[in-house]
Each structure stands twice: as C-alpha cells, then as structure tokens.
Structure 1
C-alpha cells in the first residue's frame, strides 16, 4: 500500500494494463468459441454438400432438366388417362323432363318383371330411389339429363344384383345430386339411416364426383363373393364403382338348440332290401353290378347354410370434364 501511495501514477498505469488485458482475454476467448462453432457448422455443411454431389440424383442443372422432363411426361400420361376415363364411362344424353318420368316408370316395370324371372324380392314401392319423380317432374332439362344418367347407373346395379343371385333387395337409398338440391335446404331422405348417403360428394380438384347408393340385400355366401367381384369388372358393370362400406350379418343370429339338431339328425328306419324278382323264363342273366343303397344321414350342417343380411354403400364414380387436363392445372415443381 505504501508503494502505491508513493507511486500513484505507476499504479494507475499498471491497473489500466491489467484491466485491458482481462478485457482482451475475454474477447479472445469469445472469438475462439464462435470460431469453433462456425468451423463445426462449416464442416457439417461441407459434408452434406459432398454427400449430395456424390448421390445418384445430384442437384445439378442437368438433373433438374431431366426431372422436369419426367414431370412433364407424367403430366401428359395423367391427362391421357383422364381423357380415356371420360371416353370409357357412359355419356350423359339430353332428355326432356317428361321423357325422364316416362323412362323411370318403364324401368320400374321392367325391373319388376325381371325380378319375377330371377326370383328376387323387391319392395312394393321400389323406384330405384327416384320415388319423387314418379309423380313430379325434374326442375329443368339439365337436371333431367343428369338424373337419367344416374338412373341408368342404379338400374345397372340392380341388374347386377339379379345376375349375381341376390334373393332380396330389402331397401335402396341414393344420394341426391346438386341439381336436385340447388336453391333448397337439404331434406332428409325417406327411410334414411344414420351414416347413409346424404349428398353428392365432390373429390378434391373437381376431377370426379361420387354418387352414393346404400342397399340392404339378402343372399348367400357364394352370391356375395360373385357380386363383389363383378362390381369391379367393367364387362359386368359399365359404370365405375367403389365399394365404400360392407357390413355382413347372419340372417339367423342364433344357432339351433341341441335337442332340435339331434332330432333333425335322427336317421330314418332302414328299409329291408327286397330281392329282385327272378328273371323271366328264357331271359339271359344280367351281369350288372348294382351299387348299394345310400347310407342314411347321421348329421346336419349347422353353419354355412344360412342366408346373409348385407349392407353395402357403393359409390358410383363419375369423372368430370376437368379430368381431361387435370395435370396441366398445376404440375409439381421439381424439388432441389
């Protein structure tokens, strides 16, 4: 302390030197830390760049142009597919409102006659789900044309049920088109159940629309397998379909009790074998070997013979005109 008092100027200079040295040391340490972090980041980025350059698809200009050409080729293929789908689906033909009503009544009469031939039950008030138009006309000719194409699709669906061996079409409900509900609040359909189709569903981008048909059928297992296969067969079903929901229940929820099953399996009494009458005089003896009589049944099937109650929700898919050039509306840009 005495030296500091005696050499105040020198002590001040030494204090300043010590303070500046401490500040410079802190700045040097901070700069070194930042340098180390920056170097590590640089090395990591350099490693990623080298990995990308060594990859099969490196972000070079040549690869970008090649990918762009592939995207354009893909877009052209998608547009060709959309145009082909528009050609394959049945076209909507113009029709007047009164002609549509007459067509509906004719198809109802024809399907009832065919149902009698195929022995398939139909509800007494069956009208393909177009019950309202048996007494009223569509709002316009444009609506009549759309409804006519919709009726043709449902008619083909019912014919498919008949050809597949369906025993009963217990109910049929359909979703309404936009031309039917335009300007009016949506009304619940007759006999509509929770989860039933309530409206026309448009897909993303306006490429297609789905018209939903909900049916309850009575059939056996073989007919169900045949029907599900034919729904996706264009030679059997000319309209594009998609099976959205399938619910299967046994018609009989409970099996037979043991006493009933046992009594049904009781074998009938065995009839005594009666000897064949002797051959007539002068007739040649027969060398035919006759099979023994069949054994009496000793069991009955308990499962696999019952009928099924099946609920199906089927989407009738219709592609719109925009499907012809859907890929040109916004092709994905090549990603780097």
Structure 2
C-alpha cells in the first residue's frame, strides 16, 4: 500500500491497464464464440449445397439439356406408337340408317353360316351376338359403332371356320354405351354382386388422369375343336392388322379325362425293343427301367391328347379414339 501511496500515478496506470486487458480478453472470447458459430453455419450451408448438387437431376445447363433431349425422345416414341395403334382406327363410325344396319346384320349372318356350311350347323338362335336386334331396332346413334363391331365379329368367325372348329357354342356381345343412349365418358356402373369397397380402392390410380386412347367392346366366344384350332385362332387375333383384340381371359377344357394319342400318331408296338433314348444303358438297369418309362408315357398321353377341346375366350375389341396431341418441346 505504501508503494501505491508513493506512486499513485503509476499504480493507477497499472490498475487501468489490468482492467482494460480483462475487458479486451472478455470481448475476444465472446468474438471467438461468435466466429465459431458463424463458421459452423457456413459449413452446414456448404454441406446442404453439396447434397443438393448431388441430386439427380441437378438443374445445371447440361442436365437440363439432357432432360429435354430425353423428353423429346419419349414424345417421339409415343407418336410412333400412336401411329401404329391408329392403323386399327376405323375410317368412320358415323351412324348409318337403322334399316341399313338391319340389312347389313342379316346379310352378315347369312355369309357366316355359309362359311360353316358342310362343316357344322350353327344354332337357329345364333345371330352373331346381336340376338336382341332380331325383333327390335337399335338406337340410331349406335348403328355406326355396332356396324364396326359386326365386321370384327364376322372376321373372327371367319378365323374359326378357317381353323376347322368343330362346334361354335355362341358369341356374347356386351352392350356398349351408345345402345343405352349414353356416351363412352359416362361413369361405369358397379358390377353385379360386388360389394362397394371401403376406404381406398385397390388398383385406383392416384394423380393426374391419363388420356383415353381407346374404348372397349367386350366379346365372349365359346367353341370346340382340336388344339390346332385354338392356336390358329389366337395367332390370328394377335397378328391381325384390321382389328385390335385385347385377350382378357382364356379357359380351355379337355372333354376326355385321359386324352387319346394325337391324330396321326403311331402307337408304339407292345413288343418293340425298349429305347435307350440314344444314351445307352448307363446303369445296366434293364427291366428296372420299365416302370419309369411307362409312367412317363402315361403323363405324355394326358398332355398330348388328340380329342377336341372346348375353349372360352373373353376379349375386348378396341375402338381407338382421336389422335392425342403431345406437348412440343423446343
């Protein structure tokens, strides 16, 4: 204390210096904390920016051009596919006079019966799926679409005749909206016997609605014939360049529980030497091989039978609509 009394000025200077140093150190520490926080924020922003740049596609000029080129290619492919589908679009489905449609239906039925003349006899009630119009007339606005459907059914019956079907059980044609005075855009009625679902419906697409490219005309066909007839009919439906059929259901039944051998097949002689299938007797089993061979023969007989089969086909005849305009990209 004596020194401070004798050196008041110097003592005061020392005290002031210590206080100032403390203040400066305190401010420096606070500034360091603030700087560390800012550095942490910058690093966080840089990390987020790096993550965004890693996303695909990142909107750089290069990626934007690649996306545009990809979209152009997709639209080009869609236009090509649409051009192929539109080859099945009829020139016109405009309504025709009701009496003209009735005459067309009668003439078509006569031509179809001629196709099967000498092969099979079609039932008297058979009328190409238009049995209701034997005694009544269709709505005038439906005649154009019905005429298109009639031509497709005539073509289908021609394929059956060419494939040598041995019997035609019938053809069922589902009513189209214009026959009921409705448009294709009308809401579909729920199927009979189906309970309304609760909550989110299964199979319901969420999001923007897709353009409609075709209307469906359901047909059901029942016929009998050899396996080759079924193959020929299915092949013709798939390869047709006039009508587009979307096969939905195919059920095949063999009338015989154990079919006979295919027509023209030569039955193996009972005393014929057992075949080694070209590989020789590998294990010297001899008689022990008889049971497996016999089992295989029975299985093959069940598969490759020669009896007629009954086939039920459920297919939709597609009536393609107008051209869809896709967006143009520059």
Name the counterpart of 1:132: 132
Quick one: distance in 2 between partners of 1:93 and 1:246?
Answer: 29
The SS at the match of 1:85 is helix
Which of 51, 54, 78 matches 2:54? Answer: 51
Name the counterpart of 2:27: none
Q: Does residue 1:149 correspond to 2:148, yes or no? A: yes
Query: What TM-score do you get using the length of structure 1 for normalisation?
Result: 0.60
Quick one: distance in 2 between partners of 1:223 and 1:97?
Answer: 36
Quick one: distance in 2 between partners of 1:222 and 1:194?
Answer: 37
Relative distance call for 1:204 and 1:247 in structure 2 (3 A) is: farther
Name the counterpart of 1:310: 311
Please report how far the alpha carbon of residue 63 of structure 1 lies from its aligned counterpart in structure 2 after TM superposition: 2.8
Q: Does residue 1:234 correspond to 2:235, yes or no? A: no
Relative distance call for 1:46 and 1:171 in structure 2 (3 A) is: same
The SS at the match of 1:206 is coil
Relative distance call for 1:50 and 1:40 in structure 2 (3 A) is: same
Quick one: distance in 2 between partners of 1:127 and 1:314?
Answer: 19
Which of 223, 226, 232 matches 1:220? Answer: 226
Please report how far the alpha carbon of residue 103 of structure 1 lies from its aligned counterpart in structure 2 after TM superposition: 0.8
Which of 245, 250, 255 matches 2:249? Answer: 245
Please report how far the alpha carbon of residue 150 of structure 1 lies from its aligned counterpart in structure 2 after TM superposition: 1.0
How big is each residue's C-alpha offset from its partner over 1:67-110, in whole Å with a ceiling of 9 and x where there is no partner? 22442453244235434533443323652110110110111111
Please report how far the alpha carbon of residue 155 of structure 1 lies from its aligned counterpart in structure 2 after TM superposition: 1.1
Quick one: distance in 2 between partners of 1:50 and 1:123?
Answer: 73
The SS at the match of 2:132 is helix
Q: Does residue 1:111 correspond to 2:112, yes or no? A: yes
**Over the residues paired in the alignment, what is the CA RMSD in angstroms?**
4.2
Quick one: distance in 2 between partners of 1:194 and 1:266?
Answer: 56
Please report how far the alpha carbon of residue 128 of structure 1 lies from its aligned counterpart in structure 2 after TM superposition: 1.0
Relative distance call for 1:309 and 1:316 in structure 2 (3 A) is: same
Quick one: distance in 2 between partners of 1:132 and 1:230?
Answer: 28
Relative distance call for 1:121 and 1:138 in structure 2 (3 A) is: same
The SS at the match of 1:59 is coil
Contact 2:89 2:321 in 1 (8 A): no
Please report how far the alpha carbon of residue 326 of structure 1 lies from its aligned counterpart in structure 2 after TM superposition: 4.0
Quick one: distance in 2 between partners of 1:234 and 1:183?
Answer: 30
Name the counterpart of 1:174: 173
In the TM superposition, 1:1-336 aligns within 5 A as 42=45, 44-49=47-52, 51-52=54-55, 58-92=58-92, 94=94, 95-117=96-118, 119-140=119-140, 142-182=141-181, 204-235=210-241, 238-252=242-256, 254-255=257-258, 302-303=301-302, 304-321=305-322, 324-328=323-327
Relative distance call for 1:49 and 1:134 in structure 2 (3 A) is: same
Count of aligned residue pairs for this structure pair: 245
After TM superposition, the runs of 4+ consecutive aligned structure 1 residues lying more than 3 A away are 32-36, 38-44, 49-52, 87-90, 299-303
Relative distance call for 1:92 and 1:134 in structure 2 (3 A) is: farther
Quick one: distance in 1 between partners of 2:38 and 2:131?
Answer: 80
Structure 1 runs not aligned, ≥5 long: 1-27, 196-202, 257-264, 268-298
Relative distance call for 1:245 and 1:206 in structure 2 (3 A) is: same
Contact 1:89 1:240 in 2 (8 A): no
Quick one: distance in 1 between partners of 2:68 and 2:311?
Answer: 49
The SS at the match of 2:239 is coil
Quick one: distance in 2 between partners of 1:71 and 1:239?
Answer: 31
